[in-house]
């Protein structure tokens, strides 16, 4: 396995990996399960757009793990916030067929190295309570829990039509 910088031709494969991995750990999927479908597309399409946006906003901070054929098998996206000194990791995913081999850890270590190279003072990553992999992996790299957040959602129904007067 090799970790290299993101290339635009990687995007479709990164989105494929995203679709394979984020189902059990997606806030939008949780909302759809509770409230029903909403919007012009489902949770998966919204998540794939988010990955594309990550790659567009900080392409020099997207790192891709590839196999011996240079096929992406995992990725990590980052965002630099120089004004605050915070490096943020919005997304990390490894193809389920390749999990358990230390790829996620290696990708996170590369992201942390990137933050140090760019002068960030703190690295931030989030996970859901329903993500046991993240809850184990992040502390094992030295991340400390600083807060818990509760997400609420309300399905907005069309406003009732006023009666004729």
Q: How many helices (H) and strands (E) does the chain have?
A: 5, 5
- Residues 5-46: tens digit of each pLDDT: 999 999 999 999 999 998 777 888 888 888 988 888 888 988
Structure-token pair, residue 136: 């184990």
Sheet of 2-5: strand order equals 2-5, 63-66, 72-81, 86-94, 122-125
Residue 130 confidence (pLDDT): 82
Residue ranges per domain, the chain? 2-140
What's the whole-number average pLDDT of the chain? 93
For the chain, the distance separating the N- and C-terminal CA atoms, rounded to the nearest angstrom, is: 72
Residue 29 confidence (pLDDT): 85
Looking at the predicted structure, is the pLDDT value of residue 161 above 90?
no
Residue 59 confidence (pLDDT): 96
Looking at the predicted structure, is the pLDDT value of residue 78 above 70?
yes
In this prediction, residue 165 has a pLDDT band, given cuts at 50, 70 and 90, of low
- Residues 124-147: tens digit of each pLDDT: 999 988 888 888 999 999 999 999
Greatest mean pLDDT range, 24-38, 45-59, 148-162? 45-59
Taking a C-beta distance cutoff of 8 angstroms, is the pair 64, 48 a contact? no
Q: What is the CATH number of domain 2-140?
A: 3.40.630.30
CA nearest to 114, candidates 80, 83, 75, 67: 80
Gap between the Cα atoms of 17 and 93, Å rounded: 7
Residue 11 confidence (pLDDT): 98
Residue 97 confidence (pLDDT): 96
The percent of residues above 90 in pLDDT, for the chain, comes to 70
Gap between the Cα atoms of 47 and 90, Å rounded: 11
């Amino acid at each position: 396995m090799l970790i290299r910088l993101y290339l635009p031709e990687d995007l479709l494969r990164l989105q494929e990996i995203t679709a394979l991995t984020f189902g059990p750990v997606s806030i939008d999927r949780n909302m759809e399960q509770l409230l029903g479908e909403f919007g012009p597309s489902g949770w998966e399409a919204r998540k794939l757009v988010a990955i594309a946006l990550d790659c567009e906003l900080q392409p020099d901070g997207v790192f891709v793990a590839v196999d011996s054929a240079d096929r992406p098998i995992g990725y990590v996206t980052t965002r630099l916030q120089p004004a605050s000194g915070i490096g943020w990791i919005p997304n990390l995913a490894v193809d389920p067929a390749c999990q358990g081999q230390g790829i996620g850890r290696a990708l996170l270590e590369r992201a942390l190295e990137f933050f140090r190279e760019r002068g960030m003072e703190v690295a931030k990553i989030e996970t859901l309570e329903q993500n046991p992999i993240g809850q184990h992996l992040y502390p094992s790299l030295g991340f400390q829990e600083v807060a818990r957040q509760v997400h609420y959602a309300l399905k907005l129904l069309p406003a009732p039509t006023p009666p004729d007067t």
